[in-house]
């Protein structure tokens, strides 16, 4: 009976091993390696040997079954110790690759190996997604510029030219008159004049005036600090111009002095002088804008007005405009780099909006046109508006001159050969500053890059 049982057992065992020997043997080898911490080389050799396993003897099967029982008993004990549950394990390939790569940091591998082995490549740490900024600098400049009031009050001026002047305790009549002027400024300020007054120092005022079109001051920003003395309104206010050391007008000195009969700094007649009963701060600012920042400032010089209709006087006036525009460009740079207190938003927004036309004007003037002449639109826009879309001949398809555009004048008109080189340098500086402020400079940057490209051979 025992003999038959052993034969039956051997026969059944032999058929079972013959059917599943390879898969069973490989599984057992892997379990032993996990428990005993075998090396990667051992895994390879054991796996290969298990695939060639022959029909085992009954005694060998029994021993392997006992080892299997011991193996699972050890595994259960380990699970009890660390609380590990294989079903709960979530394999993270990135962590696994990173762990393997860390072990190979100190190895001297041939160049390029890291690129072909995934787990030798460092895994970049995950970063939390950040919300993109709601608005860029250019948009902020525009928003602040559009919201910049023509008249407003501020707490004080720390950089005001007359901040150190002692103003004492204002009397009631003086305060009432100053507040009256404030109301006029708030209500009747013309376009292109911006004013800030100080609550803590009613005697201080700052004004920014944008240069009028058609003048060498066009699109520029000019700043004036005003001090209202205790004698006001019996006497006129005191005005200081932020010159940056430039004599930009016969009436605006490099020292900051403003020469105007209304201010008592120049002789005048009748209504040109200060009238305590009628003159106001509004009148002072409008006079600076209209009488000083004009299209032919050369004739502001005393006695020069008699040459207005003389060819020689006209040539000198045009030369003066050339020099004035160069100074105006330098004043723009001065204001961009050192904007006066409480006017930084105006400076950034103004040149962000008007930077394109200023750069176009520079190129227009370097082409030989008079300062203050009308600057044509972009060439593509002009052709689209004035060209004949249905014409086929070259003569009929040529763009027509735009009304109001002054044609280029002979290049020998300018007596100074330094105008174009000087303006070219200023143009490059303005292009950089306007680009920082977010102005539309794309066209000019493209032109600059094209000029730097080597000529095709």
Q: Return the closest-CA partner of residue 373 out of 295, 291, 292.
A: 295
Q: What are phi and psi of 208, to 5 degrees?
A: -120, 130
Contact 228, 202 (CB under 8 A): yes
Active-site position among 259, 271, 329, 417: 259
Instruction: Evaluate the omega torsion of the peptide bond into residue 296 and state whether it is cis, within 30 degrees of 0.
Output: no
77 tagged catalytic: no
Q: Which two tokens stand for residue 242?
A: 């932020």
Catalytic residues: 259
């Amino acid at each position: 009976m025992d003999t038959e049982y052993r034969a039956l057992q051997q026969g059944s065992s032999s058929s079972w091993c013959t059917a599943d020997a390879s898969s069973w043997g490989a599984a057992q080898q892997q379990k032993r390696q996990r428990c005993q911490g075998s090396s990667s080389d051992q895994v390879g050799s054991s796996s290969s040997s298990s695939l060639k396993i022959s029909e085992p003897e009954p005694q060998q099967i029994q021993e392997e079954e006992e080892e299997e029982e011991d193996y699972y008993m050890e595994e259960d004990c380990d699970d009890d110790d660390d609380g590990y549950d294989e079903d709960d394990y979530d394999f993270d390939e990135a962590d696994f690759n990173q762990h393997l790569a860390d072990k190979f940091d100190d190895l001297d591998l041939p160049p390029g190996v890291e690129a072909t082995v995934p787990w030798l490549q460092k895994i970049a740490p995950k970063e939390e997604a950040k919300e993109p900024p709601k608005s860029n600098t250019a948009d902020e400049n525009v928003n602040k510029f559009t919201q910049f009031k023509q008249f407003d009050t501020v707490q004080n001026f720390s950089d005001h030219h007359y901040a150190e002047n002692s103003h004492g305790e204002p009397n009631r009549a003086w305060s009432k008159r100053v507040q009256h002027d404030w109301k006029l400024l708030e209500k009747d300020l013309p376009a292109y004049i911006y004013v800030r007054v100080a609550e803590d120092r009613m005697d201080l005022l700052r004004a920014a005036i944008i240069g009028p079109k058609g003048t060498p001051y066009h699109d520029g920003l000019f700043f004036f600090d005003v001090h209202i003395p205790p004698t006001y309104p019996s006497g006129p206010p005191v005005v200081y111009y932020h010159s940056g050391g430039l004599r930009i007008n016969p009436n605006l000195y490099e020292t900051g002095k403003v020469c105007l009969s209304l201010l008592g700094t120049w002789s005048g007649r009748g209504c040109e002088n200060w009238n305590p009963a009628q003159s106001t701060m509004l009148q002072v600012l409008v006079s600076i804008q209209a009488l000083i920042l004009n299209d032919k400032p050369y004739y502001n010089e005393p006695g020069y007005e008699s040459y207005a209709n003389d060819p020689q006087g006209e040539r000198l006036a045009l030369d003066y405009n050339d020099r004035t525009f160069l100074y105006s460009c330098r004043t723009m740079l001065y204001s961009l780099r050192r904007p006066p207190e409480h006017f930084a938003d105006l400076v950034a927004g103004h040149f962000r909006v008007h930077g394109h036309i200023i750069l176009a004007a520079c190129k227009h003037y370097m082409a030989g046109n008079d300062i203050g002449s009308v600057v044509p639109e972009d060439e593509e826009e002009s052709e689209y508006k004035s060209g004949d879309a249905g014409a086929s001949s070259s003569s009929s398809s040529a763009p027509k001159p735009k009304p109001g555009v002054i044609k280029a004048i002979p290049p020998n008109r300018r007596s100074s050969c330094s105008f174009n080189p000087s303006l070219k340098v200023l143009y490059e500086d303005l292009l950089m500053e306007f680009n920082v402020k977010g102005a539309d400079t794309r066209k000019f940057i493209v032109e600059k890059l094209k000029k730097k490209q080597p000529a095709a051979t």
